[in-house]
Amino acid sequence: MSKLKIALQKSGRLSEKSISLLGECGIKFPNGGGKLISESSNFPIEILFLRDDDIPQYVEQQVVDIGIVGENVFLESQKNINIIEKLLFSACRLSLAVPKEISYTGPDFFNNKRVATSYPNILKAYFQKNNIHATIEVISGSVEIAPGIGLADGICDIVSSGSTLLSNGLKEVEKILNSQAVMVATQNLDADKQLILDKLLFRIRSVLKAKENKYILLNTPNKQLEKIIRILPGMNSPTILPLAKEGWSSLHSVISEDKFWDIIDELKEAGAEGILVVPIEKMIL
């Protein structure tokens, strides 16, 4: 029987979360000991651990069928592969930054300047689109030190909190793109492997959906029930159970993580008590 081959980052910012995502999908595999290939004992999948930058090429060449990389790496690679799912972790952005003492007025600043980056393709496209003529200095790591050592006037690099920029005397001035971990796939998957991938995607979507939602339980006086139901944008109509306490009910529903804090305030104002919010492990829709 055929097996699906997936490439994950060997060690780095995506590794742990990629491995736990497969774990949350119920896929068991030995991991550790610096192994490069691992095979699942309960799902037809083989896992290869690679440098993230190599993953798009391996997928394009069908050494592996799918992989998990940052959108930034996917876009920079310019390979003929597809994003099949956004995975909602490792959110970051690719931005331009300049020394903090510069009085920055707009992208025109970069005209006739030198910009250091590990993302020359994305940056070139950005400069072309904005009609900016700049020199791109390609370096593979520690980009943030380039202005300090006189290699460049600015940089284009991954930012999440901005603390690395700050500690190198830089400030973020333009966001070029938002990124998150994505699953990429070859454009030519045979039917057997497609079936396995469909199974895997079904599990991944259930896990992601569950992470985006919370299960909420609360108690309410019956006279407030209708008002509270209107506040809760549940996936279906909420479950209502009578409490032993006369004139009170317990209400159960699912709410999206995003809306969580706003809704909690509204619920309290409407008279809800004993509010419990619990994580959902899997959500099958």
Residues that bind ligand ATP (CB under 6 A): 9, 12-14, 51-53, 70, 72-73, 90, 92, 158, 160, 179
Contact by Cβ (8 Å): 146, 115? no
**C-beta closer to Zn ion: residue 53 or 60:** 53
What does the alpha-carbon distance between residue 8 and residue 18 come to, in Å, rounded to a whole number? 7
**C-beta closer to Zn ion: residue 43 or 119:** 119
Contacting residue, 24, 46, 53, 60, with Zn ion by CB under 5 A = 53
- Does residue 54 touch Zn ion according to CB under 5 A? no
- State the minimum distance, in angstroms, from the CB of residue 218 to Zn ion: 46
Residue 179 interface partner, choices ligand ATP, Zn ion, none, CB cut-off 5-8 Å depending on type: ligand ATP
Contacting residue, 5, 52, 157, 263, with Zn ion by CB under 5 A = 52
- Does residue 71 touch Zn ion according to CB under 5 A? no
Question: Which of 107, 104, 101, 98 lies closest to 153 in space, CA to CA?
Answer: 98
Residue 135 interface partner, choices ligand ATP, Zn ion, none, CB cut-off 5-8 Å depending on type: none
**C-beta closer to ligand ATP: residue 14 or 251:** 14
In terms of phi and psi (left: phi > 0; alpha: psi -120 to 50; beta: otherwise), the region of 90 is left
Residue in the structure block whose two tokens are 């590990």: 118
- State the minimum distance, in angstroms, from the CB of residue 47 to ligand ATP: 15
- State the minimum distance, in angstroms, from the CB of residue 116 to ligand ATP: 16
**C-beta closer to ligand ATP: residue 51 or 124:** 51
Contact by Cβ (8 Å): 83, 75? no
- Which segment (53-61, 114-122, 128-136, 222-230) binds Zn ion by CB under 5 A? 53-61
Note the residues at the interface with Zn ion (CB under 5 A): 52-53
